[in-house]
Chains A and B, each alone.
Chain A
């Protein structure tokens, strides 16, 4: 995390102050502005389409936070995170559909929030289960075991068994009105947007608070060198498991949140490609940075939307050759994503967060850049 630039003559006297949230008036004003834009500006300005784009960004942030925690802060590469999103989504859906909720809970609109919480915990436990090999293996071998998590959970357990519960066939559809938070029935993009904002902000607060505590420092020590971390007296296995739990927890929140946006969930919503996509997002944003997670999510989602708009524009302008491009947009998206990842890795390995940091430093130090 980058250091905060303090006004001249101001010094910290305690370590705790060093890690304070918003240390200067400028930052406070900046954050207030950000909140105003997020909570009032965007809902006022954006139409349905851009709100849904924002929701996708939020979902990507929630999903990528867990990956960022594992890869960026604990050094455990995971290529199967979509599985835990799927666990969260399915747990929450099954709880809503099958669990005999007491009537007063349903009336109070607590059934869905409680199911999100339980789903997050279940996803966390699953994540720990598949993180267990990390006690013994690391690096490439760990990548393979997390890949196995994806295939075992999504392609086997969920597709073959969980989907059979209740005899609904492949897709679980949620009747309208079942997704209710407090007095609000989540049925429009705007309501999903506000729920997304709250969840993203809570998750980011949890993450940042964890990272500036003993736990976060232990994770970073493990990432930098696990053997020396062990020598320093950190219980490596315990902290790795904790990292997997928190990552799965946030992933579970992401999955359980996303069902409010989907009319029906099926295993196809959580393919292996999505796990890779999440890893790509944090690599583009910047590994080891919360800012990076957010930047990467915004960048990837917006770039893809813009690409789609360009192709639609070409169609409108009467270019017939653009039609197959529009039909096969999914494939173009994949190819473009691949190229973007390769390009970032080769030319910009530090990601967008590094550029952000550079720009910030430039203006903080302006006009004397030393």
Chain B
């Protein structure tokens, strides 16, 4: 029972971070229709930027803020340089540009920061675990979860109550209509990429705090794909629920299945689950069902 509770709490908390990254992904897809395969590398970049500032002695929150700013700039640049020219191209073209971007970003990250695992020193969150009754929760998880939750709330409020957020929602809903009432689609695309970069950067920083930071954090960023598929590609609540589900699934497989299949069950379980899930419910939980006509 204790193992079960532990798994649930850890799963939900890691899932919260996935949810944050997945939100960025869904945002890009909703606003501009780009299926982004470079999400893992976006998490890497943000994480490495904040890590290098932190190890230079900048306070953690400030370095996080700096990585947000840099993410914002990089996001806008990426959109303007690469994706702006691809509006209206076939889906495969756009996907492959994001694949190309992921190669490019990964190569750059490896060139600049190397491939060794780095840790945030001194540790940001206290090492002694937090105890609630029988539960033992690492403080890293707890704080990461809270931070992810806070950002999720901020993002959702941003979409609901600000002018920019409403413009983005309008574009996602119907691009033509949005254009006709004076929303600049190009601005919205750029903003979506900027926000995705920022969300991924925070997600990456939090993930890097848990296990140390190296190239394999990009793989964790890739886990948003199963998450968004579970939730439905174009649903914000779906992304959040999907992220948490993937976190739970991963931890349950790690806790219960690892005995029977030693090795990396934890890593591949989300993808196996996703493949099977797709066979039965291809549009996810809350995704729009597309009806095809000849």
Residues of A at the B interface (CB closer than 8 Å) are: 71, 77, 79, 133, 136-137, 139-141, 143-145, 147-148, 151-152, 155-156, 159-161, 225, 227-228, 231, 273, 276, 279-280, 283, 287, 328, 330-342, 345-346, 349
Q: Are A151 and B106 in contact (CB under 8 A)?
A: no
Partner pick for A342 among B101, B226, B263, CB 8 A cutoff: B101
Q: Jot down 28 A-B pairs with beta carbons below 8 A, ordered by A.
A: A71-B92, A77-B95, A133-B279, A136-B278, A136-B279, A137-B282, A140-B35, A145-B275, A148-B272, A148-B275, A151-B267, A156-B263, A225-B294, A276-B103, A283-B96, A331-B110, A334-B110, A335-B107, A336-B107, A337-B100, A338-B99, A338-B101, A338-B102, A338-B105, A342-B100, A345-B86, A345-B100, A346-B97
Q: Which residues of B contact A136 (CB under 8 A)?
A: 278-279, 282
Q: Is B185 an interface residue (CB 8 A)?
A: no
Q: Does B182 contact A (CB under 8 A)?
A: no
A322 to chain B, nearest CB (A): 13
| Complexed CA–CA distance, A331 and B97 (Å) | 18
CB-nearest residue of chain B relative to A349?
Answer: B93
Contact B85 A346 (CB under 8 A): yes
Q: Mark B51-92, 1 if CB is under 8 A from A, else 0.
A: 000000000000000000000000000000010011001011
In the bound complex, CA of A147 to CA of B226 (Å): 11
Q: At the interface, yes or no: B194 with Cβ under 8 Å from chain A?
A: no
Asked whether A332 lies within 8 Å of B96 as measured between CB atoms, the reply is no
Cα A339 to Cα B108 in complex, Å, equals 11
A-B contact count (CB 8 A): 139
Q: Is the CB of A341 within 8 A of B103?
A: yes
Task: Check: B27 CB closer than 8 A to any chain A CB.
Answer: no
Chain B proximity of A36: nearest CB distance (Å)? 37
**Would you list the 8 A-B pairs with minimal beta carbon distance, nearest first?**
A335-B107, A338-B103, A338-B104, A341-B100, A160-B263, A334-B107, A148-B271, A331-B110
Instruction: Please state if B104 and A148 are interface contacts (CB–CB under 8 Å).
Output: no
C-alpha spacing A214/B155, complex, angstroms: 53
Task: Tell me whether B177 is interfacial, beta carbon within 8 Å.
Answer: no
Q: A151-B267, A334-B103 are in contact. Are A139 and B110 (CB under 8 A)?
A: no
Question: Is B229 an interface position by the 8 A CB rule?
Answer: yes
In the complex, the chain B residue whose C-beta lies closest to that of A142 is: B278
Interface residue ranges, B against A (CB under 8 Å):
35, 37, 82, 85-86, 89, 91-93, 95-97, 99-108, 110-111, 225-226, 229, 233, 261-265, 267-268, 271-272, 274-275, 278-279, 282, 292-294
Shortest beta-carbon distance from A67 to chain B in Å: 12
Question: Using Cβ atoms and an 8 Å threshold, which residues of chain A touch B103?
Answer: 273, 276, 280, 334-335, 337-338, 341
> Secondary structure of the B side of the interface?
helix
Q: How far is the CB of A238 from chain B (nearest CB, A)?
A: 18
Q: A136-B282, A228-B294 are in contact. Are A345 and B97 (CB under 8 A)?
A: yes
CB distance from B169 to the nearest CB of A (A): 22
Residues from chain B with Cβ under 8 Å of A231 in the complex? 294
User: B264, A155: Cβ atoms under 8 Å?
Assistant: yes
Complex-state Cα separation, A137 to B277, whole angstroms: 11
In the docked arrangement, what's the CA distance between A339 and B233, Å?
Answer: 27
Inter-subunit contact B268/A155 (CB<8 Å): yes
- Residue of A133, A144, A345 near B96 (CB, 8 A) is A345
- Pick the most buried of A231, A335, A340, A342: most chain B CB atoms within 10 A of its CB: A342
- With A133-B278, A144-B278 as known contacts, state yes or no: A155 contacts B267, CB within 8 Å: yes
Name A338's contact: one of B100, B226, B265, B268 (CB within 8 Å). Answer: B100
Residues of B within 8 A of A276 (CB): 99, 103
> For the complex, what is the distance from the CA of A335 to the CA of B38, rounded to whole Å?
13
Report if A137-B101 is in contact (Cβ < 8 Å); known contacts: A151-B267, A155-B268.
Answer: no
A349 and B88 alpha carbons, distance in the complex (Å): 13
B100, A140: Cβ atoms under 8 Å? no
- Is A280 within 8 A of B264, CB to CB? no
A280-B99, A338-B101 given; A144·B107 CB < 8 A = no
Name A334's closest neighbour in chain B (CB-CB).
B107
Q: Beyond A144-B271, A227-B293, A337-B107, list 18 extra A-B contacts (CB 8 Å).
A: A77-B92, A77-B95, A133-B275, A133-B279, A140-B95, A144-B229, A152-B268, A159-B264, A160-B264, A328-B111, A333-B107, A335-B106, A337-B100, A338-B99, A338-B105, A345-B93, A345-B96, A349-B89
